[in-house]
Amino acid sequence: MSPQIGTGREGVTVRTVLSVPELEQTQLRVLSGEDRLDAAVRWVHIAETEDVASLLEGGEFLLSSGPAFRLNVDRTRAFLLRLEKAGAAAFAVEIVTEDDEPDAASLEVLRAASVGLQIPVIALTERVRFARITQAAHRLLIAEHLEWIERTREVHEVFTELSIGGADEAKIVETTSDLLNTPVVLEDAAHRILSFELCDMTEAELFDEWPLHSGRAVPVGMKQNRWGRLAAPFADPTDRYAAEVLERAGQAITLVRMATQHQRDLLLNATDRFLGELSTHTQMTDQVAALRSQRYGMSRSAAYAAVALHTADVSDAAGVDLSDYQLEERRVRSELIAVSRSLGLSALTGTWRYGTVVALVGFPTDEVDAPLSELSRTLSVNLNRSITIGVGPARGGVLAAGRDLETAVETARIAAGMSVRERPFYRFADLRLSGLIAGLADDARMRVFAESELAPLLGTGAEASSAPDHAALDFLQTYVLAAGNKTEVATKLGISRPVVYDRARRLEKRLGVSLADAESRAALLMALLWWRSQN
């Protein structure tokens, strides 16, 4: 079937009714509303009383021979105004004498009464058979209705075939433009263009002042979750064919998006379970793990690594709307898959706990650090947020890499708590002492140890004060990191060695320990690192 199944032309109009044989062969005069002759006609009635206006629903073509409508200008005008307000399409009245001659006096009354009206007022200056007019007009209206039913059926079939055939949004937009012979645009709720067909226009002409609010448009998406709009900005706003085509196209796009989302959800759920099985050290073999990963879309790779993205702490979950978090989690997973693909990698993603997304990433070569660094940088930019990435060792198989997922998650969690994060990603070996301190951040024993070591400087010991002595804490950290080398401390702080000696002696007195003792310096460094991680 050709997609060009209709042009959206109007059906029966006032002009159409005036062209039926019984009227076309008649002497008639259009006294007003000549610019409304193309208005649609819904039905044709014979009206002989003035109270007919209260019975109208709009779109009626009225025929009359009643003398009451041609004797008094004011009375006739009041009647015509009521018809116009009721939405009548036109009013035609016989203006003839009892001798079947044109009635000049009545014509002048009707002409004066219709001055300035929008409704077409037609004077019939010879006898006509109203029955023949209504029969002919009704045949046209019924034929139009049957044609409309056929055209809407064809439109329905076109979009049903597209939906069943798995057409994407771009194909549906293209077909819609072909049917209407006009540009069509699919946009999201923020008016960002998702797909479009120009139909002989240029992009500059179409999008120069986008979004346009003219033409025809329909919302796209389920009623409770409208996510976009399908628009034909240059279509006639009154064209019901355009409205029908856009409505069917919008429904098809909604169905396609729902089907695609359902398939995507099924795949995400499947990879969730698969990664969960890998991480729990099941009895799965290397061969089965490799086959299942490929079934879920992962390419056979030279190396594999477990990856964990930490975006928020579990403690942040309170008060967060679950549906909002799920949408954000899905966005992170989709972005991770898309960025991996753009870098020539393949990835299976899964959820772990609040604020953490995990992935099994495949690499085309044994070199994994450069791709991982680029993956981290691109994700941070695309997600427009701070993320911390933990990575397991590069492995030769899916099963071995999957068993590193727990390590990657813990690495990302600990690295996220470090006061300074300079790497694009972290392996557990990169965490060292700072990582250990971050991992013990919530341990009560660590808090007691650190606060007791630094009590005089934190304002919690015998020298209790309102706030920590930050200058002393900064000097102490520089001193212990330099292993007590006073020349190095003087250089880093830009002060003289005698000043360093003096400050060190005063610190020893306040802390009650010797800074020359390596164990004391190590204990103080651990306490300082913990305090920095908390502040």
Question: Within a domain: residue 151?
Answer: no
Q: How confident is the model at residue 242 (pLDDT cuts 50, 70, 90)?
A: very high
* Distant-in-sequence, close-in-space partners of 315: CB < 8 Å, separation ≥ 6: none
At 6 the pLDDT is: 39
At 349 the pLDDT is: 94
Beta strands (DSSP E) in 269-369 are 303-310, 346-351, 356-363
At 307 the pLDDT is: 97
With beta carbons less than 8 A apart as the criterion, state whether 199 and 176 touch.
no
Judged by average pLDDT, the poorest of 90-104, 108-122, 169-183, 392-406 is: 90-104
| 471 in the same domain as 412 | no
Q: Quote the CA–CA distance of 135 and 141 in Å, as a whole number.
A: 10
At 465 the pLDDT is: 52
| 406 in the same domain as 289 | yes
Q: How confident is the model at residue 208 (pLDDT cuts 50, 70, 90)?
A: confident
Q: Mean pLDDT, to the nearest integer, of 162-187? A: 91
**Domain assignment of residue 226, given as a range:** 166-261
Query: Dihedral of the CA atoms 53, 57, 61, 62 (nearest 10)?
Result: -20
Question: Within a domain: residue 150?
Answer: no
At 100 the pLDDT is: 78
* Percentage of the chain lying above the pLDDT 90 cut: 36
| 407 in the same domain as 462 | no
Q: Mean pLDDT, to the nearest integer, of 432-451? A: 76
Question: Within a domain: residue 278?
Answer: no
Element (H, E) at 390: strand 388-391
Among 141, 158, 181, residue at a domain's last position: 141
Looking at the structure of the chain, the number of domains it has is 4
Judged by average pLDDT, the poorest of 51-65, 101-115, 336-350, 463-477 is: 463-477
Question: Within a domain: residue 246?
Answer: yes
Question: Directed axis angle between helix 130-164 and helix 169-180, to 10°?
Answer: 160
At 323 the pLDDT is: 65
Q: Is the pLDDT of residue 492 over 50?
A: yes
Question: Within a domain: residue 267?
Answer: no
Among 141, 174, 209, residue at a domain's last position: 141
Q: Is the pLDDT of residue 361 over 90?
A: yes
Beta strands (DSSP E) in 80-154 are 90-94, 121-124
- Look at 502 and 441; give whichever has higher pLDDT: 502
Q: Mean pLDDT, to the nearest integer, of 92-100? A: 85
At 9 the pLDDT is: 47
Q: Is the pLDDT of residue 306 over 80?
A: yes
Q: How confident is the model at residue 529 (pLDDT cuts 50, 70, 90)?
A: confident
Q: Mean pLDDT, to the nearest integer, of 247-259? A: 89
Q: How confident is the model at residue 535 (pLDDT cuts 50, 70, 90)?
A: low
At 191 the pLDDT is: 81
**Lookup: tokens for 190:** 């923020």
pLDDT digits over 457-476, tens only? Answer: 887 654 545 578 888 888 98
Question: Within a domain: residue 154?
Answer: no
Q: Mean pLDDT, to the nearest integer, of 160-167? A: 87
Question: Within a domain: residue 5?
Answer: no
| 393 in the same domain as 313 | yes
| 296 in the same domain as 396 | yes
| pTM for the whole structure | 0.49
List the CATH number of the domain containing 210.
3.30.450.40
**Lookup: tokens for 192:** 């960002």
* Helix/strand/coil for 424: coil
Q: Quote the CA–CA distance of 184 and 235 in Å, as a whole number.
A: 9
Q: Quote the CA–CA distance of 435 and 419 in Å, as a whole number.
A: 10
| 448 in the same domain as 414 | no
**Residue 239: what residue type?**
D
At 7 the pLDDT is: 42
Asked whether the bond before 468 is cis by omega within 30 degrees of 0, the reply is no
At 247 the pLDDT is: 94
| 318 in the same domain as 358 | yes
Computed over every residue of the chain, the mean pLDDT equals 85
Q: Is the pLDDT of residue 10 over 70?
A: no
Question: Within a domain: residue 507?
Answer: yes
Q: How confident is the model at residue 174 (pLDDT cuts 50, 70, 90)?
A: very high
Among 228, 261, 294, residue at a domain's last position: 261
| 229 in the same domain as 299 | no
Q: How confident is the model at residue 4 (pLDDT cuts 50, 70, 90)?
A: very low
pLDDT digits over 254-264, tens only? Answer: 888 887 777 77
List the CATH number of the domain containing 411.
3.30.70.270
Q: Please name which of 52, 107, 109, 111 lies closest in space to residue 85, comparing C-alpha atoms.
A: 52
pLDDT digits over 17-31, tens only? Answer: 998 888 888 888 999
| 25 in the same domain as 70 | yes
Q: Is the pLDDT of residue 5 over 60?
A: no
Q: Is the pLDDT of residue 42 over 80?
A: yes
Q: Mean pLDDT, to the nearest integer, of 45-71? A: 85
With beta carbons less than 8 A apart as the criterion, state whether 346 and 399 touch.
no
Q: Is the pLDDT of residue 104 over 60?
A: yes
Q: How confident is the model at residue 8 (pLDDT cuts 50, 70, 90)?
A: very low
| 121 in the same domain as 35 | yes
Judged by average pLDDT, the poorest of 43-52, 263-272, 319-328, 427-436 is: 319-328
Q: How far apart are the first and last CA of the chain?
A: 71
At 439 the pLDDT is: 65
Q: Mean pLDDT, to the nearest integer, of 201-206? A: 82
Q: In what order do the strands lie in the sheet with 356-363?
A: 346-351, 356-363, 303-310, 388-391
